Chains A and B, each alone.
Chain A
Amino acid sequence: MWRVLGLLAVLVSFDATAQTPVPYRIENGAIAQPLTGVKGDPAKGRAIVVERQKGLCLLCHSGPFPEERFQGDLAPSLVGTGSRLSEGEIRLRMVDSTKVNEKTIMPPYYKTEGLERVAANYKGKTLLSAQEIEDVIAFLVSLKDDTQK
């Protein structure tokens, strides 16, 4: 079991996304404008969130994913995210959570600058692409308190 779920193996096996981040504007604790012109797809977003080698989310978060074993306990549950936060607030947290809490452990999913000692094969690459981030946001927005417990 430890071999299949060995965290560090999980963290490294993902193929990073080569892209220059598109510019965005932070206003009132949110990024109101989507990063792409294509509307996010919540089903794809859900797949990214539960896929440990891509989203990494469940290493830290738990959420409404009864089929997923071993969800992390370092962060709040994702249940009800869409009731607590606006779309723009979720976008800011996905793009760069340190803009909300300087000390957060949540990785910046859309950032290539200001990082130290990035391994050569990840340098200049964002964790997720702009479209993947929009997909994840569309999914998180759909997590209302009354739709699951």
Chain B
Amino acid sequence: MNRLAYLVVIGIALPAFAQDARKSGFDFMGPDTQAMQKDDLANPGMLSVLEGEALWKANAGTSQKSCASCHDDATQSIKGVAARYPAFDETTQAPLDLAGRIIQCRTERQGAPAPQREGRELLALTSYVAHQSRDLPIAPPKDARLASTRAQGAALYSTRMGQLNFSCAQCHDDNAGGHLGAAPIPQAHPTGYPLYRLEWQALGSLQRRFRNCLSGMRAEPIAAGSKEAIALELFLMERAAGIHLETPAVRP
């Protein structure tokens, strides 16, 4: 009996090793939207990256220091950072997402007012920082202190929620590649955030994307920056480990 189960496991595991079936949302898009993302001159998210670059270099807050005063040349110093967030924050002894880290730098190290979640300033800085990791593989930190929060995210991902009683996994694992009405269902890998969504006609964060799916499920929203939002993000980043970042992506 045991041996049979073992054989079945091998039978399933082998093809999985042989070929990675994971795909970025990019691969589910039509050629026009793909072309828009790939061309920096056509990609509307690049405007935000440029705005972020200017903010990075500008003095801010009571410190009258810029991000660059401490981090120097972003193309070197923060390359790869976005690929390993959320990370465990020593000060608060809790997992922190990239936007949360930038808020922390703004307030505590630069003495500037806290930028708003989903506000223009924070999105611009976050997309500039994440853009420095474009084309790098997602590389979640092997930090045991993140394990329990990541497990909370995994549980949330497979819990049925809302009036429609869907779980994230039912769409993004069981039915990925299918069509919900006209919309192709992607695998929900957080490869391109912050990204420009045509439906929003704006740049938005991964956590804004969670809100969209949750409201489609007619479920309670998860507040941006909350422990639950960071837990989901941690889980999705682990699930997408090795897939390359695309920030700023474009999505329908």
Contact = CB atoms under 8 A, between A and B. Distances in A.
Interface of A: 1-3, 5-12, 16, 52, 56, 58-60, 69-74, 98, 105, 107-108, 111, 115-120, 122, 125, 127
A115 B165 contact: yes
Contacts, number: 103
Contacts of B180: 7, 59-60, 72, 74
A105 B179 contact: no
B181 A5 contact: yes
B174 A117 contact: no
Nearest to A11: B216
A6 B216 CA distance: 10
Nearest to B163: A122
B165 A108 contact: yes
B161 interface: yes
Contact of A73 (B160, B161, B178): B178
Contact of A105 (B175, B215, B218): B175
B89 interface: no
Nearest to A69: B182
A109 B182 CA distance: 22
Interface in B216-252: 216-221, 252
Contact of A7 (B159, B170, B175, B182): B182
B16 to A, nearest CB: 21
A120 B220 contact: yes
Secondary structure of the A contact surface, majority rule: loop
A73 B178 CA distance: 6
A116 B164 contact: no
B198 interface: yes
A5 B161 contact: no
Interface of B: 159-166, 170-171, 174-175, 178-183, 198-199, 212-221, 252
A8 B181 CA distance: 10
B252 A11 contact: no
Given A10-B181, A73-B178, A2 B216 contact: no
Given A72-B180, A118-B219, A118-B220, A2 B199 contact: yes
- Among A5, A60, A105, A111, the most chain B Cβ lie within 10 Å of the Cβ of A105
Contacts of A125: 163
Contact of A8 (B159, B216, B221): B216
A9 B161 CA distance: 18
A11 B221 CA distance: 15
Given A2-B199, A11-B218, A12-B216, A127 B179 contact: no
A58 B252 CA distance: 20
A72 B178 contact: yes
- Among B164, B175, B178, B198, the most chain A Cβ lie within 10 Å of the Cβ of B164
- Among A2, A98, A108, the most chain B Cβ lie within 10 Å of the Cβ of A2
Given A3-B198, A119-B219, A11 B178 contact: no
